[in-house]
Amino acid sequence: YKNSSYIYISGLDLRLTEGDIAIIFSQWGEPIDINLIRDKKLGISKGYCFLCYEDQKSTILAVDNANDMILLGKHIKVDHVRDYKPNCDGEYIFTGAEGSGIGVFGVTKDIQTRFKTELDILNLNFSNKIRGRSDNIEKKRRAKSLSRSLSLE
């Protein structure tokens, strides 16, 4: 799997959004692409997604640390992906909130506005590689806190 920076995450609670997943999995690296698989007619999550990290080392950390993790009372499975091809048919592509610096996320058009609001609230900027140490520490603290609170519900 050394040529792939994608991981497969299954067993997700259907209430989790792309923003939630990005926050939780940013503990192990910088997510640059998330494709939360949704029912095409209803737009409801199917409980699994593909997530791409900026570097392959992060995939190893995520698989080692998050596989069999309990999240919102459910055991999630996390594994490496060998040959993932991002969905580029245009139906589920969202290029990120304006000015957010976020790459392509698999988001249905009807929730783009909600996702942008979540990003504004969380004030995330995944593409900013040069951050102060305190920003990184705060981001990791928020992600761990969110992860703990989600697993307790």
CATH at residue 130 = 3.30.70.330
**Phi then psi dihedrals of residue 15, to 5 deg:** -80, -15
pLDDT per position as a tens digit, 66-115: 999 999 889 999 999 877 766 544 333 333 333 333 333 444 444 444 44
Does residue 47 form part of some domain? yes
Does residue 132 form part of some domain? yes
Does residue 1 form part of some domain? no
- The C-alpha torsion from 86 through 87 and 90 to 91, rounded to 10°, is -140
Does residue 144 form part of some domain? yes
How many domains does the chain fold into? 1
pTM above 0.85, yes or no: no
Q: What pLDDT is recorded for position 5?
A: 85
Distances (CA, A) of 88 to 72, 84, 101: 31, 12, 19
The mean pLDDT value for 57-70 works out to 93
| Domain of 19, in residue numbers | 6-152
